[in-house]
Chains A and B, each alone.
Chain A
């Protein structure tokens, strides 16, 4: 919704042409790559600190060939997805209820507002004590770090459902349950999808912290190992993969928004 809002507030006639827009998108991605090429080629910075694009590509290719890349990426994606899923399944309904019912909000808002300010990473020692060192504490860490944002942002989105729409539904014979499920949730759906899209980034941020906990595989883990052996090209390669995965997920959410909420986009 945010991007659409900007478009509506500052409409640009040129941006309507998709070729021009595509050009801008391309520039925003290609320009840094170009800069990187130039800087590494000019050898302003020691290659050990700033590997060149070919070196990074080589590293990427060799990790792919050895199967490390797929193993790392799938382990990381699995952790993030599970943690994110828990945070969504718990956070979205609670957020909707908090936005809809003053009592539930009074009950949960102070608590979640308070917990949100505790850095999720600080929970790590406790999670290890409670859940051991396998996948569970990693997933829990991601879930904890994301769920309160989900709750509070969805709650805010629900506040924007027009009161008149809710009241009209009651006068049409709708029950409280129907109003929450069929009107409030439906109206807030575009914002909920957008909330999830934004908080997906939070989940990915927590991944690296989660993989500090005795992980065998994972993109974050690989980066830490690479640092130990001063393999900067590997760090660059993994960062690139992290960025690409994030970008793909972001696009998927945008597509989902377009498909499910044509009325809002």
Chain B
């Protein structure tokens, strides 16, 4: 599998109101790779992910998946939003199964087995009967990930999936996602503004610079992930984090809304 983004640009609006949000984005993601895209608020991160998902159309350039241009949303690209977008009328197991039953080419037996498997993968096998509203944010987000994976995507797109969680749960979920990646070798593109999260999870980190959004830096990481919690405080990790922070600082030293008034 190869996900290829070539000279991608996006303009919203027309004529006088036209606004260039993304300009000339190029990158490639190969099978089994975890890629992160970091950037400040409003740089166009969500827009980029929506383009990759096929929910927006590029103004210029192409997104190719195994050579085929992406023209709309499809089950080969799973998506997880920041806000838990579970179906409130379905219990957790039914939520996970929903995508498979929409697609129509899974047998009942397959749906049952895959649902059980992915609920187990996210550690919620014993909560399968709960409704989303009875679950914490972290649990809901794990279900959203299980649901996306169960539908059989080639790549998983995550838009600040843990942005609404508190710091502690966030760290737990990051560890969870890393172990999930290790286990399933899923191909993933993660949008985040949390540098630690990006470095911890991804092998490739792109920095999205604003006005208009473009990739200014790309880092590759190579850490020892045996113990994720001590990795966070290891000197090599903190050093890399500092380099990444400086890179972001260099593109936008002081943003206007943060400066003195």
> A residues touching B (Cβ–Cβ < 8 Å)?
162, 164-165, 167-175, 178, 182-183, 186-187, 189, 261, 263-264
Q: When the two chains form their complex, are residues A168 and B81 in contact, meaning their CB atoms are under 8 A apart?
A: yes
Option from A172, A178, A264 in Cβ contact (under 8 Å) with B148: A172
Residues of A within 8 A of B77 (CB): 171
Can you name the residue of chain B whose Cβ is closest to the Cβ of A165?
A: B85
For A175, the closest partner residue in chain B by CB is: B102
In the complex, besides A171-B54, A183-B87, A263-B133, 5 extra interface pairs with C-beta distance below 8 angstroms are A164-B83, A168-B144, A170-B72, A171-B151, A173-B75
Among A164, A168, A170, A172, the most chain B Cβ lie within 10 Å of the Cβ of: A172
Q: Can you list the 7 inter-chain pairs with the closest CB atoms, starting with the nearest?
A: A172-B99, A173-B75, A170-B73, A173-B103, A171-B79, A164-B85, A174-B102
Q: Which residue of B lies closest to A189 (CB)?
A: B89
On whether the beta carbons of B151 and A165 are closer than 8 Å, the reply is: no
B33-51 interface code vs A (CB 8 A; 1 in, 0 out): 0000000000000000000
CB–CB B89/A172 < 8 A: no
Knowing A172-B148, A263-B88, the reply to whether A164 touches B99 (Cβ < 8 A) is no
- Among residues 71 to 108 in chain B, which have CB atoms less than 8 Å away from a CB atom of chain A? 72-75, 77-79, 81, 83, 85, 87-89, 98-99, 102-103
Distance (whole angstroms) from the CB of B51 to the closest CB of chain A: 13
Residues of A within 8 A of B55 (CB): 167, 170-171
Q: Are B88 and A172 in contact (CB under 8 A)?
A: no
Interchain CB contact under 8 A, A171 and B89: no
A152 to B131, CA, bound (A): 30
Beyond A173-B102, A178-B102, A263-B131, is A187–B89 a contact (Cβ under 8 Å)?
Answer: yes
**Contact of B89 (CB < 8 Å), options: A162, A167, A169, A261:** A261
Residue of B nearest to A170 (CB): B73
**A171 and B102 form a contact (CB under 8 A):** no
Seen from chain B, the residues whose Cβ lies within 8 Å of a Cβ on chain A are 53-55, 72-75, 77-79, 81, 83, 85, 87-89, 98-99, 102-103, 131, 133, 144, 147-148, 151, 153, 157
The answer to whether B73 and A263 touch across the interface, beta carbons within 8 angstroms, is no
Q: Which residues of B contact A164 (CB under 8 A)?
A: 81, 83, 85
Across the interface, which residues of A come within 8 angstroms of B153, CB to CB? 171
Which residues from A are CB-within-8-Å of B83? 162, 164
A165 to B147, CA, bound (A): 13
Name 27 A/B residue pairs within 8 A (Cβ), A-sorted.
A165-B85, A165-B87, A167-B79, A167-B81, A168-B79, A170-B55, A170-B73, A170-B74, A171-B53, A171-B54, A171-B73, A171-B74, A171-B75, A171-B77, A171-B79, A171-B151, A171-B157, A172-B75, A173-B74, A173-B99, A173-B103, A174-B102, A178-B102, A182-B102, A187-B88, A261-B89, A263-B133
> Taking chain A's interface residues, is the majority helix, strand, or loop, or is none over half, making it mixed?
helix
**In the complex, what's the smallest C-beta–C-beta distance from A10 to chain B, in angstroms?**
20
Q: Are A172 and B78 in contact (CB under 8 A)?
A: yes
CA distance A119 to B78 in the complex (A): 50
A178 neighbours in B (Cβ, 8 Å): 102
The distance in angstroms between the C-alpha atoms of A165 and B102, with both chains bound, is 14
B85 contacts which chain A residues (CB < 8 A)? 162, 164-165, 168
**Interchain CA distance A174-B75 in the complex, whole Å:** 8
- Find out whether the CB atom of B53 lies under 8 angstroms from the CB atom of A263: no
A263–B89 Cα distance when bound, in Å, is 5
Bound-complex Cα distance A170 to B88 (A): 17
A189 to B88, CA, bound (A): 12
Bound form: Cα–Cα A171–B131 in Å: 22
| Chain A residues whose C-beta falls within 8 Å of the C-beta of B74 in the assembled complex | 170-171, 173
Contact between B98 and A172, CB atoms less than 8 A apart: yes
- Measured between C-beta atoms, what is the minimum distance from A122 to chain B in Å? 41
Asked if B102 contacts A264 (CB within 8 A), the reply is no
Closest residue on chain A to residue B150 by CB atoms: A172
Which residues of B sit under 8 angstroms from A183, Cβ to Cβ? 87
Residues of B within 8 A of A168 (CB): 79, 81, 85, 144
Chain B residues whose C-beta falls within 8 Å of the C-beta of A172 in the assembled complex: 75, 78, 98-99, 102-103, 147-148, 151
- Nearest to B91 among chain A residues (CB) is A263
Residue of A nearest to B84 (CB): A164
> Shortest Cβ distance from B167 into chain A, in angstroms?
24
Looking at the assembled complex, report how far the CB atom of A185 sits from the nearest CB atom of chain B, in whole angstroms: 11
Report Cα–Cα, A263/B151, bound state, in Å: 24
Bound-complex Cα distance A164 to B79 (A): 10
CB-CB < 8 A to A169: which residues of B? 102
Contacts of A182 in B (CB 8 A): 102
B87 A171 Cβ-Cβ under 8 A: no
Residue of B nearest to A178 (CB): B102
Min C-beta distance of A177 to chain B, whole Å: 10
> Which residues of B have CB within 8 Å of A174?
99, 102
